[in-house]
Structure 1
Amino acid sequence: MIGSKRWCGVAVFLVLLMAGTHVGIGAESLFRHFVKAKGDCLVDGDQPLRFVSFNIPNLLLIEDDMEFVRTNPWRLPVEYEIEDALRAVVQAGGTVARTYTISVAREDDDPGTPKHVLAPGRFNEEAFRAMDLVLAVANRVGVRLLVPLVDNWKWMGGRPQYAAFRGKSPDDFWTDPQLREDFKKTIAFVLNRVNTVTGVRYRDDKAILAWELGNELQQCPREWAEEMASYIKQLDPNHLVAGGVQTHELHDWELESRVIDLVSTHHYEGDPMRMAANIRAAAERARGKKPYYIGEFGFVSAGGIRYVLDRVVRTPNIAGALIWSLRFHNRDGGFYWHSEPAGNRLYRAYHWPGFESGDAYAERAVLGFLRSAAFAIRGLAPPPVEKPDPPHLLPIPDVGHISWRGSVGAYAYVVERAESPQGPWQVVGRWVDDAAVSYASLFSDESAQIGRKYFYRVRALNEAGISAPSNIEGPVTVAELSFVDEFADLQRVFQMGGQVSLGALGARAFKEDLHRLEMSEGAWVRYWVPGEIREVEIRAFGQTDSLSLELAVSADGQEYGPVPVVQRGFRMNGRDYPYRVPVLVSGRIDRPGCHFLQLKAAGALQLGRVEIRYE
């Protein structure tokens, strides 16, 4: 048994080496077998399959496009984002990831929301083309996927929406013949779909580990589950079917059923001892009967995560564990962000490989424990980290707004500038962290000189070294400079008065703005910049589309004159989250010689970002 584990580890290591080589979309899969159940174990060919990895809720559909002026947070992932997510899994030692569900249109969706199921038997080709990409990349990098077919909850659309299509109640989903047939139409469409990238039917795709009947189908009747599992097996004899009840304990009928191949539980007990006890009890019930995995767990301390993972690795009949959750790099720069409403206003989705912005919930420590466990459960020691690939520098509108597509596994970046694309290159940004801000430009070059033209490039770095340079962008003509305050601290503020404090909790209500300045009525802050102020742009949050925020400028810091402003609100649909109204406040300064800016709150509000453009 020990010898087979060692051989399994060598085989997986070779797969990981192969996965590090980028090949074209649609290339041959790294997988040779469908995953099967053998007793209470999962096997890949004749080798055991065990895993520690991530849930990736945005992998099929992004719910977190929280750029300040966008009012619809939903969009489909692109290849760069998909590859970033799945390569992060590989770097973290994972061989499996869990997606979220096949999404279903809601009657209160914003126009253009790209859900997968639009109506009974009617499907969104664009959304499924994104899923085609997910499966193509999963095959290419060597990550198998657990795919839940329907959600019990309304968030991305699920059981309640299938019922609503027919004017029925959510609980009718289990018993109504028409609703059962509607869901079977989705199952048949998904399993029979031919991937437009690889040409492989989903039912024949080895990157799919198993179809989960759904996500957290807590009241799911046995009769419904067995009917749907039998239907899946009729259409797709290749893949395992996982039960979708997913409470913190297993049910006898899940273990007894002949058409459900593997079982899972979800764990958010808050107490790691209680969590580990429930997991141990579930593993004991499944022992000798069926493969068992932990489909979701989290929202406990770093020490609690480590304790649970240690128990998982040491329990042979636990096939795997998937932490909640991972968010990947954003095509527009930085990461996607997601604060967890059920996480005591503390926990956010993790960003690989861990950053200072996650210190409140020990992100770096947790991801380190996760990586160690992911290799240990496969009988391997973690290999040395490799230096990152070059990032991709995005087009630069001006020197105050420089962003790039980040590199998997990079801790930070170096920004370089030259007056010729041939160099010489000067470092103008050291240790720039692309997880330090959310949904904003990553770097402002305040050392640029007005009237000059510059070229820029970026390098990624981690403990293994620094990457080759990115592509070069430029020339960029410097017409003005930008002073930016993201409120990570108060060190950029020149003066302040009244009740002013930093806030970071409850970020979901503030479009995931990580750091904010809370101002009570009458509070004020002042800034000084070395050049003449020409324009001001402020991201703020309030209860309405108009804020009581007064702007004034001064040449000497003593006498201030008012600045006329334009306010534009970008109200979000608050059906799921209690969003504050994002308001963009902007003003042009025509008075010459002004170096000081004052912001005064005539009512309670929060500031998310201040940008002062000056010459």
Structure 2
Amino acid sequence: MTATPSTATAWVTRSGSQLQLAGKPWRFAGVNMYWLGLDENVTDAAGPTYPTHAAVDNGFSAARSLGAGLVRSISLGVSVGSPRSLEPTLGHFNDAAFASIDYAVADARRYGVRLMIPLTDEWHYYHGGKHTFTNWLGYPDAPGQNCVTDAGQRQREAEFYTDPRIVAAFHAYVAHLLNHVNPYTGLRLGSDPTIAIWETGNEVWDAPTAWTEQTAAYIKSLAPHALVADGSAATGKAISETAYAAPHVDLIDAHFYPTSVATMTSDARFTAAHGKAYMVGEFPLTTQTDSSWTTALATDRDVAGGLAWSLFPWLSATQPEQHDDGYTFHYPGANATERSAVTRLQAYAKQVAGTN
């Protein structure tokens, strides 16, 4: 299944608290596939590997079969600090890393799926994040610690938002990424409507509003037609504490572990009242036992969409790629739990499509 020419080249836009595509209301169901740029689950002697074209094709084919309109992928935008990263060391770029990024973006376009791409990360995952920049520029990591486990680490990483050297280094990274021309499409990544949403970061829960606005404005300078999501929301953080009022922010992205219909509903109303769009960028699918959560997502017109965590490919006809966080699923399902989850996600996608 592929996009029609009119929607493939059209930008997703925002009118107040609602999203539109080709002049019509646009709401979505979707999935997270964080591994599209660099995959920690398939390794060799050098560490995480670039996903194969077959794995990427399998992922996007599955996403479309699930009815996904949007795929969120952290490693397409966060790729720093390791040998196969886009920026392995400060100021030195490894443009070989663009090969997997470019292919994934082109594949999403081919399957008619929009992308959401975060640009940094709160956590100390394999693809790097804000701590990579602070570590590079004079604020060394405390071994084995992160912002939650160690107050000193939290203080050091706070410099990511204010130290002019770090801000400049991060902007240089963002510019290198968004100004890159994809050889498959001939488009700058910042000029490709396939990438509907750039997100300031993944769960950067301590981000000051001033930094979020500065970052959103910078993204808009490089991708003026794309939407920008505030990535400072995280489980347990109230939407009222995020940068909903930042002028260049279009969407508020909330994450739910566990899910809460009451909180989601309240957050969506609050965000809409402030003239911005609201979405659920992560929710666990395999731990849901009924469809009450996805039904609530589908029927609430103040929720632009929800993205399940997380879809993985089949590496062969009998070998589903494994991940150890407890939320992994495959299409059409590697076991009874996954098959039930897939059925609920497909039903959600059909409900959302019926509201557009």
Are 1:374 and 2:349 matched, yes or no?
yes
The one of 288, 305, 308 equivalent to 1:302 is: 288
Aligned residue number for residue 307 of structure 2: 322
- Counterpart CA distance in 2 for 1:130 and 1:310 is 35
Are 1:160 and 2:131 matched, yes or no?
yes
Aligned residue number for residue 144 of structure 2: none
**Aligned pair in 2 of structure 1 residues 186, 225: CA closer, same or farther (>3 Å)?**
same
Deviation of 1:268 after TM superposition, in Å, equals: 0.3
- Counterpart CA distance in 2 for 1:166 and 1:376 is 48
Aligned residue number for residue 54 of structure 2: 80
Aligned residue number for residue 51 of structure 1: 28
Query: Counterpart of 1:31 in structure 2: which amino acid?
Result: A
Map Cα deviations across residues 273-327 of structure 1 (whole Å, 9 max, x no partner): xx112111111111241111000011663325x2110101110110000011011
Query: Counterpart of 2:86 in structure 1: which amino acid?
Result: H
Contact map agreement 1:194 1:202 (CA 8 A) in 2: yes
Query: Counterpart of 1:251 in structure 2: which amino acid?
Result: S
Are 1:293 and 2:263 matched, yes or no?
no
Are 1:211 and 2:211 matched, yes or no?
no
Are 1:188 and 2:175 matched, yes or no?
yes
Aligned residue number for residue 334 of structure 2: 355
Aligned residue number for residue 413 of structure 1: none
For the pair shown, the structure with the greater C-alpha radius of gyration is: 1
- Counterpart CA distance in 1 for 2:45 and 2:322 is 16
What TM-score do the two structures reach when normalised by structure 2?
0.88
Alignment of 1:437-516 (within 5 A): none
Deviation of 1:141 after TM superposition, in Å, equals: 0.9
Query: Counterpart of 2:56 in structure 1: which amino acid?
Result: I
- Counterpart CA distance in 1 for 2:46 and 2:175 is 30
- Counterpart CA distance in 2 for 1:78 and 1:38 is 38
Q: Secondary structure at the match of 1:54?
A: strand
Q: Secondary structure at the match of 2:167?
A: helix
Contact map agreement 1:213 1:243 (CA 8 A) in 2: yes
**Aligned pair in 2 of structure 1 residues 78, 332: CA closer, same or farther (>3 Å)?**
farther
Quick check: which one's helix share is greater? 2
Are 1:90 and 2:79 matched, yes or no?
no
Alignment of 1:85-234 (within 5 A): 85-101=59-75, 102-106=77-81, 113-155=83-125, 156-168=127-139, 169-234=156-221
Deviation of 1:350 after TM superposition, in Å, equals: 0.4
- Counterpart CA distance in 1 for 2:176 and 2:101 is 13
- Counterpart CA distance in 1 for 2:186 and 2:318 is 32
Q: Secondary structure at the match of 1:349?
A: coil
Query: Counterpart of 1:228 in structure 2: which amino acid?
Result: T
Deviation of 1:232 after TM superposition, in Å, equals: 1.3
Question: Which stretch has the larger CA shift, 164-173 or 39-48?
Answer: 164-173
- Runs of 4+ in structure 1 off by over 6 angstroms are none
Deviation of 1:86 after TM superposition, in Å, equals: 0.8
Structure 2: where are the runs of 5+ without partners?
140-155
Aligned residue number for residue 365 of structure 1: 340
**Aligned pair in 2 of structure 1 residues 138, 29: CA closer, same or farther (>3 Å)?**
farther
Deviation of 1:73 after TM superposition, in Å, equals: 4.7
Map Cα deviations across residues 421-478 of structure 1 (whole Å, 9 max, x no partner): xxxxxxxxxxxxxxxxxxxxxxxxxxxxxxxxxxxxxxxxxxxxxxxxxxxxxxxxxx
- Aligned CA-pair RMSD: 2.1
Query: Counterpart of 1:158 in structure 2: which amino acid?
Result: G
Are 1:37 and 2:23 matched, yes or no?
no
Contact map agreement 2:60 2:108 (CA 8 A) in 1: yes
The one of 260, 264, 274 equivalent to 2:249 is: 260
Q: Secondary structure at the match of 1:216?
A: coil
Map Cα deviations across residues 388-424 of structure 1 (whole Å, 9 max, x no partner): xxxxxxxxxxxxxxxxxxxxxxxxxxxxxxxxxxxxx
Aligned residue number for residue 239 of structure 1: 226
Deviation of 1:332 after TM superposition, in Å, equals: 9.7
Map Cα deviations across residues 32-79 of structure 1 (whole Å, 9 max, x no partner): 21111111111002111111111001111111016xxx5555100122
- Counterpart CA distance in 1 for 2:6 and 2:353 is 21
**Aligned pair in 2 of structure 1 residues 327, 195: CA closer, same or farther (>3 Å)?**
same
Matched positions, count:
334
- Counterpart CA distance in 1 for 2:265 and 2:7 is 33
Q: Secondary structure at the match of 1:313?
A: helix
What TM-score do the two structures reach when normalised by structure 1?
0.52
Query: Counterpart of 1:291 in structure 2: which amino acid?
Result: A
Q: Secondary structure at the match of 2:96?
A: helix
Query: Counterpart of 2:63 in structure 1: which amino acid?
Result: V
Taking CA–CA contacts closer than 8 Å with sequence separation of 6 or more, which of the two structures ends up with the larger relative contact order?
2
Query: Counterpart of 1:143 in structure 2: which amino acid?
Result: V
Map Cα deviations across residues 350-397 of structure 1 (whole Å, 9 max, x no partner): 0111122xx3xx2111110100111111108xxxxxxxxxxxxxxxxx
Structure 1: where are the runs of 5+ without partners?
1-15, 21-27, 341-346, 381-615
Q: Secondary structure at the match of 1:118?
A: coil
Map Cα deviations across residues 568-588 of structure 1 (whole Å, 9 max, x no partner): xxxxxxxxxxxxxxxxxxxxx
- Counterpart CA distance in 2 for 1:268 and 1:200 is 36
Map Cα deviations across residues 136-177 of structure 1 (whole Å, 9 max, x no partner): 111111000000011111102111111111122322111100
Contact map agreement 1:30 1:139 (CA 8 A) in 2: no
Deviation of 1:253 after TM superposition, in Å, equals: 5.4
Q: Secondary structure at the match of 1:254?
A: coil
Q: Secondary structure at the match of 1:242?
A: strand
- Counterpart CA distance in 2 for 1:202 and 1:148 is 13
Map Cα deviations across residues 62-112 of structure 1 (whole Å, 9 max, x no partner): 11016xxx5555100122211111111110011111001433444xx5xxx
Contact map agreement 1:129 1:196 (CA 8 A) in 2: no
